[in-house]
């Protein structure tokens, strides 16, 4: 067995990590930085450890939190909090220099000084720009106080821009994650029937993903009666509600490893859908298909506004359709038909970008909703769907009732 082989993080080639390191060092030099301190901590409540910005360079996520100190010149260092995890971290990470201690800012400070960067410009990379999660305030204050001659700059969004375009190796891992996610949805569809709970469906998807060597970022599941609905978004924490004939079931399922996930947005029905849900499903599916047809390299966010709007309004409904980046967790672009004022309308799509695309339609009172969507990747020749699940096929989503 390969040293460090595991189900938590993909084992990319040495050339892949060299590509990342070389590109990042060039970017650091162009920005006038001397080194980066890249913070990582868990995300959401899934079984994947999170810490996407740190994992990108280390192939390891600390159990609580930690840093990668990445210099413009010299070797990177991984700093973790729990000393008891040190041997495991050294066995898994691609970074040779792994250190542990409860004074994480102190480890960062000492390594910065060792590198001769104590009077330099240090870029601070937070955990996850999408959630506006940066380093702990106490850490930032400690670094400022104990590196008084250094200049600290928050560069999280800048850093994440440099990992948006995926290499061929990364795309292969995302495709593998999508295949795992499809298998989980297969199991979900087989199990969904009257008498089954929302959380049981979640647990079955989780079981299948783990059996295939994967992990989940999260797995939303929710259900509601179609004739008295109260759901436009599935439950982040699935409940013990029992499915009945005449229910609509929404999911947001993920599957993969190391942040390289497929994702499915699905709406299914326990028995034939009532007319309003049938109409909404077709509107959401139409918006999804229009977006799939319109997305290609060189297109800007504003070019996709008509497909995001769709024809829901003309039919008496609202469109919440969206496109979001999916570069090991959420990333740019963020294109929501609802939040037009905050959308990345000038963002240009490029080959290698991984996206989540969903048609999402709700009624005017926002008590009933349907979404359909999945993960895609852009290539030089256009868009490539990574999933085989029939998310936009109404009849395929009428389940055991």
Window from 75-79, 128-132, 143-147, 247-251 with minimum mean pLDDT = 128-132
Q: Is the pLDDT of residue 3 over 60?
A: no
**pLDDT band at 9; cut points 50, 70, 90:** confident
Q: Looking at the structure, do residues 133 and 225 belong to the same domain, yes or no?
A: no
**Does any domain span residue 57?**
yes
At 97 the pLDDT is 98
Assess whether 179 and 132 both reside in one domain.
no
Give Cα separations from 134 to 155, 161, 208, 295 (angstroms). Answer: 10, 16, 33, 31
User: Can you tell me the distance from the alpha carbon of 342 to that of 305, in angstroms, rounded to the nearest whole number?
Assistant: 13
Span 148-177, average pLDDT: 96
> For 299-357, what is each residue's pLDDT tens digit?
999 999 999 988 899 999 999 999 999 988 899 999 987 766 678 999 999 999 999 99
Mean pLDDT of the chain: 95
Percent of the chain residues topping a pLDDT of 70: 98
Q: How far apart are CA 317 and CA 361, in angstroms?
A: 7
Residues 300 and 387 in one domain: yes
The count of structural domains within the chain is 2
**Residues 364-386: pLDDT tens digits?**
999 999 999 999 999 998 999 99
Mean pLDDT of 150-162: 97
User: Is the pLDDT higher at 356 or at 8?
Assistant: 356
**pLDDT tens digits for 79-137?**
999 999 999 999 999 999 999 999 999 999 999 999 999 999 999 999 999 888 899 99
CB 355 within 8 A of CB 325: yes
Looking at the structure, do residues 174 and 191 belong to the same domain, yes or no? yes
Same domain for 133 and 68? yes
- What are the contacts of 383-388 at 24+ separation with CB within 8 A? 383/292, 383/295, 383/296, 385/292, 386/174, 386/175, 386/178, 386/262, 387/178, 387/181, 387/182, 387/262, 387/264, 388/182
Query: Is 266 found in the same domain as 303?
Result: yes
Choosing from 134, 161, 188, the residue where a domain stops is: 161
173 and 157 within one domain = no
- What is the reported pTM? 0.95
Assess if residue 7 is contained within a domain.
no
CATH for 240: 3.90.230.10
Model confidence band, residue 69 (pLDDT cutoffs 50, 70, 90): very high
Copy the structure tokens of residue 290. 């229009």
Of 127, 161, 195, which residue sits at a domain end? 161
Predicted confidence (pLDDT) per residue in 191-208, tens digit: 999 999 999 999 999 999
Do the beta carbons of residue 318 and residue 310 sit within 8 Å? no
Please give the average per-residue pLDDT across 277-291, as a whole number.
Answer: 97
Residue 204 structural domain: 168-399
- CATH number for 150: 3.40.350.10
Domain closes at, from 144, 161, 178: 161
Say yes or no to pLDDT of 1 above 60: no
Phi, psi of 279 (to 5 degrees): -60, -45
């Amino acid at each position: 067995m390969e040293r460090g082989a595991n189900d938590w993080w993909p084992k990319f080639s040495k050339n892949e990590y060299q590509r990342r390191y070389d590109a990042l060092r060039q970017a650091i030099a162009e920005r006038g930085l001397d080194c980066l301190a890249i913070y990582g901590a868990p995300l959401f409540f899934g079984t994947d450890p999170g810490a996407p910005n740190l994992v990108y360079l280390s192939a390891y996520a600390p159990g609580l939190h930690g840093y990668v100190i990445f210099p413009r010149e010299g070797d990177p260092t991984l700093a973790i909090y729990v000393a008891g995890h040190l041997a495991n971290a050294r066995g898994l990470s691609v970074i040779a220099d792994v250190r542990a201690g409860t004074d994480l800012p102190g480890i960062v400070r000492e390594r910065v000084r060792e590198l001769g960067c104590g009077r330099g410009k240090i870029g601070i990379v937070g955990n996850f720009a999408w959630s506006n999660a940066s380093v702990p305030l106490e850490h930032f204050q400690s670094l400022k106080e104990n590196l008084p001659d250094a200049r600290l700059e928050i560069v999280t969004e800048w850093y994440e821009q440099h990992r948006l375009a995926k290499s061929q190796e990364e795309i292969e891992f995302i495709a593998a994650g999508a295949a795992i996610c499809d298998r989980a949805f297969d199991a979900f569809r087989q199990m969904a029937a009257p008498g089954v709970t929302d959380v049981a469906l979640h647990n079955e998807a989780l079981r299948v993903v783990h059996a295939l060597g994967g992990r989940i970022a999260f797995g939303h599941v929710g259900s509601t009666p179609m004739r008295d609905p109260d759901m436009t978004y599935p439950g982040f924490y699935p409940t013990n509600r029992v499915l009945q004939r005449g229910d609509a079931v929404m999911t947001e399922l993920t599957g993969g490893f190391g942040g390289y996930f497929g994702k499915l947005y699905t709406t299914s029905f326990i028995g034939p859908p009532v007319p309003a849900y049938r109409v909404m499903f077709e509107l959401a599916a139409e918006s999804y298909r229009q977006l799939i047809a319109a997305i290609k390299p060189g297109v800007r966010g504003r070019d996709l506004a008509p497909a995001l709007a769709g024809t829901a309004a003309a039919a008496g409904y609202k469109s919440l359709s969206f496109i979001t980046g999916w570069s090991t967790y959420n990333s740019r672009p963020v294109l929501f038909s609802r939040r037009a004022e905050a959308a990345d309308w000038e963002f240009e799509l490029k080959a290698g970008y991984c996206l989540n695309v969903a048609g999402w339609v709700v009624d005017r009172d926002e008590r009933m909703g349907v979404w359909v969507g999945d993960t895609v990747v852009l290539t030089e020749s256009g868009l490539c769907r990574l999933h085989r699940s029939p998310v936009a096929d109404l009849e395929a989503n009428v389940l055991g009732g």
